[in-house]
Amino acid sequence: MLTTKEVRLRRLTLAALVGVGFLVAASPRKTFNAVINRYAGISSLKASFEERICSKKDGTCQILKGTFTYASP
């Protein structure tokens, strides 16, 4: 079974990969078209995450939220 830390790391990694995918999609047209062609069968994609990051030293917490959305053209 995964620890809480491992689960958070996997979620953040997934969110980062999805985010990088959208950054790549926003790159030059040739790259954008390659991304569209690769995922042509997907009509939409939405990834959301929310993580609470706490500092034991300061005793404070921050909430990190993000949503990535893609809808096929």
pTM summary value: 0.32
3-class secondary structure, 73: coil
**Over the range 16-42, which residues count as b (16 or more CB within 10 Å of their CB) and which as e?**
eebeebeeeeeeeeeeeeebeeeeeee
Sorted by where each begins, the domain ranges of the chain are 4-71
Query: How far apart are alpha carbons 68 and 48 in whole angstroms?
Result: 6
Q: What is the pLDDT of residues 17-71, one digit of tens each?
A: 666 666 555 555 566 567 666 666 666 777 777 788 888 888 888 888 887 777 7
Residues 35, 25 contacting (CB under 8 angstroms):
yes
Query: How far apart are alpha carbons 20 and 55 in whole angstroms?
Result: 27
